[in-house]
Structure 1
Amino acid sequence: MARPINPEGTWTVTANKKRRLKQSFRLADGQTVRKSFTATTKDACRDLRDEWMLANGLDPVRPTAPARSMPTLDQWIVEVRRTDDLNNLEAATVSAAASLYRNHLKSQLGNRLIDTITATDVVELQIHLKAKGMSASTVRAVHVQLAKALNLAVRRGHLTRNVAADVAKPAPAQRSPQPFSQTELLAVWNVVIRHRDSARWAAQLMTGGRQSECLGLAWGDFNLEENRLIIKRSLKRVQWLHGCDPKEQDQHTPAQCPHKTKASQFGKTKSAAGVRAIWLPDQLVEVLRDWRVDWERAAKRGIFDTSILSEHGGLVFPSSTTGGARDHRADARQWQAILHEAEVLHRGTHSSRHTVATQLLTEGIDPRIVQEALGWSDGSQLPRYQHVTTSLTKKAGKAIENQWDQIIGRDADVLPIRRAGTTDD
């Protein structure tokens, strides 16, 4: 009678992507036989093995996997965070995910075993969040976090399917760009040139950079002689990290953790496409040259902390109050104060990016160049500027029309075209 030596065997994949099970058996006469079974799936391989074992006098009994204790969502989220740490996710990403779970998921599904969560529970979670007044983007982000956790459970063998995948994610809110008009830009500019941080806001208006990219600029990123800037980093919002055991992290926020640590403030741009070269307008170069003189004077007096990004020439736009890196919220408040003084509709700093994109497209710049200049990963943002691209398409059509006017004119003897074989009525 044949007896398997290693009940599970070993698995390999063949050159044509089939599964191969290799397993050793000890026959009744004491001989050891090593067999291989090849098929398209693992289950098919096991079926072939079972047939062989029956032919050799052994009733195949597949070993049962050891019973696993099913974790609750609270317990499983600890494993998700450990996986995030192994994947070296940005501190801001991890912190945002932890906040979403603590504020929206924990109270609803935290004590549920993950295999008892159903698609109906996911739908009811979305309804609950909308009833609380959460935005579509927040509801979508919570759904993504839950789906991510359950997907990891599927990959680890705890679940057979991800029920969150059966529920549609809320569509993200589509917001039309709100670029400044030329009249509004002039009003804002007249306030900016009198502001103590005029260079900071001139750079925001003329480069199209994100707020975090402008705040992370160092003098070494500029070549004012060639009107060139290379954006290569961003200043992240202040992020506190947990220093306690992962099992205790749901009991308090990172900022309240007794063993908290501060994450690095400077990091990568939003995407790989964010690292880019920008040509600077002469007006901005002049403002930056004047600012460099004032910056060096302030640095000598100890007003600015020159140790920040010192290896890159120093931080270009430090806080005028603390001398260190600017706080994103304080920076945004300063921007709103400028708009208020200019008597312009209040918008975020991102409106300057919309304005630069609109200006470039209006000037007929190739959309692919616009995409590169603004650091977009793909062209999915362009449809938001359809009002601009439509007018450019009409302008292009008029240009072709003018060319044909020069070739064939608009003479009635030329138009309309008469097809061969036709006669006038």
Structure 2
Amino acid sequence: MSRGVARTRAANGRSSIQRGSDGGWHGYVSMGRTDAGKPVRRHVRGRSRQEVTEKVAALEAERARSAHRPSSNQQLTLGQWLDEWLVIIQRTRKPKTFDTYTSLVRNHCGPLRSSPLARIAVRDIDDLLYRVAGRSPQSAVSLHRILRSALNTAVRRGLLVANPCAHAVVPRVRETELEPYSLKDCRRILLAAAELPNRARWSVALALGLRQGEALGLKWEDINFEQHQLRVRRQLQRPSWHHGCGEPDPDHQPAKCPHRTGGGWVLEEVKSRAGRRTLAVPPQLLQQLREHRRGQAAHRLAAGPAWHEHELVFPRPDGQPQHPSVDAKAWRALTQRAGVPPLRLHYARHTTATMLLAQGVDGRVVMGLLGWSQASLLTRYQHVIDPLRRDAAQRIDQAYWPTAESP
């Protein structure tokens, strides 16, 4: 900016033209925002107002082209922008995450899809989230997060002046305390699993608390038998199939489309830094894994050409990745066989957290073992943590104010 120019920023990001004390004319054009959210404003100068006006108009045209701004007779709707945004972010999201984004947007944003993007107000977002929260508060929270990200991108590209999601009322999700399996139930499950060829799968679930995708994506190279360690680096995901036939309203399911895309199975790196972790393996579980590897090697030799080698620890009988629904069905059959409540497989992970906390393991250590990135998750285990806190208070009491009987 030239010295001696009285800089006046136009309201709402509009362009401004003014004459400076140096006798020249100066123009300022808002070009949107950086990825960090900072405003970008370009400066042009000239000897006459007409010259600067033409330069400002050229910058505004450049801004419209780069932001894909619609022409004056064609207003961009929220639905059109969300469809475009999904295309933009598809390459930066994992398949399962992208499928979740697509499902939430297309299942819940219908009432606002035809509304002009530039006219979406905070009240519109509030009403939408309120309707969704009536069915599922967690879906409303996830939808708000998605819309906030989509509209932030619209702001950075000059399509919106401000993001209405920034001031929307986000529904609260009550954190419920979990009642997982008891120690007696766990022993009954492991006893029933001892007769199965895949017993190590369920020992891993209860002793290490791996997520289902992490366990099914585990490879033999991830287990160090000499150091008694197991590394969690990847997870098995099953993305949804999508239509590839191009029909506007197909009468068949995406999985049965002759030109389907996506789907199948993929081994993805775990999403967060907290998820990438190395665990110490209990000695008896390590022995089970050794036996499981020997059994798998014998089965592989017997299968011959029918075996598909992927180096997976818990594959299908032919070596291919195990389908999560088949894995979950086997868990349900095991709980029925053990005579314990038929809780979902994910509750084995909650059981691991409960057992660790009940043994007095520090909460931060439990977070690291389970791959949590938020300490707030510990609030779901207050029924376990509170007795430990009381025990800690008793220890402090005895340390500072020992009774007469204490040494």
What per-residue deviation string (whole Å, max 9, x for no partner) do you get for residues 12-55 of structure 1? xxxxxxxx3x6xxxxxxxxxxxx885859577995664564479
Structure 1 residue identity aligned to 2:337: E
CA contact (8 A) 1:243 1:261 kept: no
Amino acid at match of 2:112: L
Cross-structure match for 2:316: 319
Partner of 1:144: 145
Q: How far apart in 1 are the matches of 2:139 and 2:300?
A: 42
Question: Could you say what the CA RMSD is over the residues aligned between the two structures, in angstroms?
Answer: 3.5
- The within-5 A match list for 1:24-423 is 37=5, 46=16, 49=19, 52-53=23-24, 62=53, 63=56, 65=60, 68=72, 69-86=74-91, 88-105=92-109, 107-130=110-133, 134-240=135-241, 255=255, 258-262=259-263, 265-302=266-303, 307-309=308-310, 314-320=311-317, 323-403=319-399, 409-410=403-404
Secondary structure (helix, strand or coil) at the match of 1:272 reads coil
Does the 8 A contact of 2:200 with 2:288 survive in 1? yes
5+ residue gaps, structure 1, are 1-19, 23-34, 412-425
Question: Which residue type is aligned with residue 73 of structure 1?
Answer: L
- Which range is displaced more, 287-296 or 137-146? 137-146
Distance in 1 between residues matched to 2:207 and 2:174, nearest whole Å: 27
Structure 2 Cα separation of the partners of residues 49 and 253 of structure 1: 64
Residues 188, 75 of structure 1: alpha-carbon distance in 2 compared, 3 angstrom cutoff = same
Residues 332-358 of structure 1 show CA distances to partners (whole Å, capped at 9, x for unaligned) of 122122222222222222222222222
- What is the distance in 1 between the residues matched to 2:111 and 2:252? 18
Q: How many aligned positions are there? A: 367
The aligned counterpart of 1:25 is none
The percentage of aligned residue pairs carrying the same residue is 30
Tell me how far 1:267 sits from its aligned partner: 0.5
TM-score, normalised with respect to structure 2: 0.78
Instruction: Say if 1:181 and 1:354 are closer, same or farther in 2 by CA, change over 3 A.
Output: same
Q: Deviations over 1:228-251 (max 9, x none)?
A: 111111111243356678x97999
CA deviations 1:349-401 (Å, max 9, x no partner) are 22222222222222222222221111111322222222322222222233344
Per mean C-alpha deviation after superposition, the further-off stretch among 202-211 and 385-394 is 385-394
- What TM-score does the superposition give when structure 1 sets the normalisation length? 0.75
Distance 2:167 2:391 in 1: 46
User: Which sits farther off after the overlay, 107-116 or 267-276?
Assistant: 107-116
Q: State the 1:57 CA deviation.
A: 9.2
Using a 3 Å threshold, how does the CA distance of structure 1 residues 399 and 140 change in structure 2: closer, same or farther?
closer
Q: Distance in 2 between matches of 1:169 and 1:404?
A: 45
Q: SS at 2:274's partner residue?
A: helix
- What secondary structure is seen at the aligned counterpart in 1 of 2:231? strand
CA pair 124-378 structure 1, distance change in 2 beyond 3 A: closer
CA distance in 1 between counterparts of 2:338 and 2:201 reads 17
Partner SS, residue 273 of structure 1: coil
Larger mean Cα displacement after TM superposition, 145-154 or 59-68: 59-68
CA 1:216 to 1:36, structure 2 compared with 1: closer, same or farther past 3 Å?
farther
Contact 1:187 1:342 in 2 (8 A): yes
Distance 1:272 1:224, change over 3 A: same
Alpha-carbon distance in 2 for matches of 1:212, 1:315: 12
Q: Is the CA contact (8 Å cut-off) linking 2:222 and 2:231 kept in structure 1?
A: yes
Does the Cα contact within 8 Å between 1:273 and 1:372 map onto a contact in 2?
Answer: yes
Contact 2:234 2:268 in 1 (8 A): yes
